[in-house]
Amino acid sequence: MSELWQEQMFVLLLILATGCWLGRLSVRGISLGTAGVLFVALAFGHFGFKVPREVRDLGLLLFVYAVGLQAGPRFFRAFRKQGVPFVLIGAVSVLAAAVSTAAVARIWGLTPELATGLYTGAVTNTPALAAAIDAVERVASDSVSVVSVGYGIAYPFSMLGTVLLMQLLPRLLRRNLRQEEEQWKAQQQQESPSLQAKRFVITNPNCDGKTIREVNPHRMSFANISRVRRGDTVFAASPDFVLHCGDVVMAVGPEEELEKLRLLLGEETQVPMDVNPNVVAADVDVTDGRLAGKRIGDLKVWEQYGVVITRIRRQGAELTPMGSIALELGDTLRIVGERHCVERFAYTVGTGTHKDETNMVTFLIGLMVGVAVGSVPIHLSDGLQVKMGAAGGAFVVSLLMGHFGRIGPLALYVPPAGRNLTRELGLMLFLAGAGTSAGADFVRVLQQQGPGLFVAGAFITTSTVLLVLVLTLAVYRMSLLAAMGALAACMTNPPALGAAAAQSETDLPTLAYASLYPVALIFKILVAQVMLKALSWML
């Protein structure tokens, strides 16, 4: 039996399994989640067990890479809309935490390594911890474990306290979340109206005898004609289909645009359009990298496949498929056509053998490029230089890949299940490595520094949380749900996001989180490295 405990792989899997079980235990809706692995690893580390550093580093790379791929598509779009507030909130929150850390380091007489570890734990940020560990290893490798100890001391209060605050905040501020949801829904409907389907009888004599291409509905309306019924027969609405008075057409588009189409074609009707079982509609996922970045108008979908695209679903929004819109990996297309044509198009675009596969060549090249980017030094004033580190570089590259869907000619598509597995497994591997490393010195550092370390970590967390709430609610006047998502992002605290999202039927907390999280993460990675050198000068 003793030989089994010497097997590192067995110990690693035992830590992961026990940590996951502990993380799933819930007390009044609060659970540790993936952080359960950290606390189990601390216990194992105290008794002398170790997880190889290579496992820890690989885990962090996978974690931040998956987060970047997930956030990339929303991040740049949100930045174009609300970039300045996001940058300011993220930067100010990170700098406030850094100032609070410098204050407690001077008051408690902490070493720069321990203070930086407290900082990364107080803002619940594992990539910043990795960046700090990497920076310490370059100058004093014997102090690496102290950084993880500081993280382990400050992390529990920050994680659990922020989750609890999310649950209590609506009652503390006496805000009506249902009313805020309705206001946001109305705003979203105005900015991005949902698509509807309506049927019209052709009564305009100017349309009689002309093809759909000649009528050109897009001259006055952002709506698409998908089917035409003549008598008892229904046809796919090809561009060359000749319309006649009395035909019934089905069109898809926003309410306002359909009203414009009614003025062009004729009165609305309720005539059924499903009488031809051979003309079908289907949803098709775009997973073929050859289509990513190509405009719909250039694909000549009808000419090559005999189908009509009626709508596009992208990142939770519906788009009218105009010819100028470029497809992205992960788009879902609603198509209409003859059954055999629909099946052929679906297979070609991606729902055949490619649907649930990840292009591993591109996936690994992205990781490799990220590591290379993270190794490039960034020169600051007074000869100070910092690096994003392998994790920071991988995150930046994955953000760009998530947005563009490719590296040069190499397209990347990772199914949601693949991203989730990579993110969770990577985080657990990293926490197992960081926890066992910290566990060896955890008790010793507490005995030397005393319980005041817990108070110091709580002070950093509390001051940062209060400042973020002031910025989001008082300065930028966000809705409470958006502010809760922004707070979870500033604290880079996924369990807190879960607590906020559980109180809403909308995606508002998640959207705010996804938009601000990359900003906060990048700033924390950089500040964690700068802080080490700054505290060395100050203390």
Q: Residue 452: inside a domain, yes or no?
A: yes
Among 379, 523, 374, 445, which Cα is nearest to 113's? Answer: 445
The domain boundary residue, chosen from 285, 316, 351? 351
Helical spans, DSSP H, in 266-356: 296-299, 301-305, 339-346
Residues 435 and 533 in one domain: yes
Residues 119 and 151 in one domain: yes
Residues 294 and 364 in one domain: no
Helical spans, DSSP H, in 351-451: 360-374, 389-404, 416-449
Residues 288 and 382 in one domain: no
Q: What is the pLDDT along the chain (539 residues), one digit of tens a residue?
A: 667 777 788 888 888 898 888 877 777 655 666 767 877 888 888 787 888 878 888 887 888 788 778 767 666 665 666 667 888 898 899 999 999 999 999 888 888 888 998 999 899 877 787 778 777 776 665 667 788 788 878 877 887 788 778 878 888 888 887 887 777 667 665 555 567 788 899 999 888 899 988 888 877 777 878 888 888 888 888 888 899 999 998 888 888 888 888 888 888 888 887 656 677 778 887 766 667 667 777 777 776 777 878 778 775 566 777 777 777 767 788 888 778 788 878 777 764 444 556 778 888 888 898 888 888 877 765 555 666 677 778 878 887 887 776 666 666 767 777 777 888 888 788 778 877 876 776 676 666 666 788 888 899 999 999 999 999 999 988 888 889 989 998 998 776 777 787 787 777 787 788 778 778 877 888 788 888 778 877 76
Residues 308 and 446 in one domain: no
The number of distinct structural domains making up the chain is 2
Q: Residue 364: inside a domain, yes or no?
A: yes
The domain boundary residue, chosen from 351, 376, 395? 351
Residues 398 and 519 in one domain: yes
- Cβ burial of 235 (10 Å; 0-12, 13-18, 19+) is middle
CATH code: domain of residue 244? 3.30.70.1450
Q: Residue 181: inside a domain, yes or no?
A: no
Instruction: Please give the helix or strand (H or E) that residue 262 lies within, else none.
Output: helix 255-265
Residues 333 and 378 in one domain: no
Residues 199 and 157 in one domain: no
Q: Residue 183: inside a domain, yes or no?
A: no
CATH code: domain of residue 503? 1.20.1530
Residues 306 and 449 in one domain: no
The range of the structural domain enclosing residue 338 comes to 192-351
Residues 51 and 163 in one domain: yes
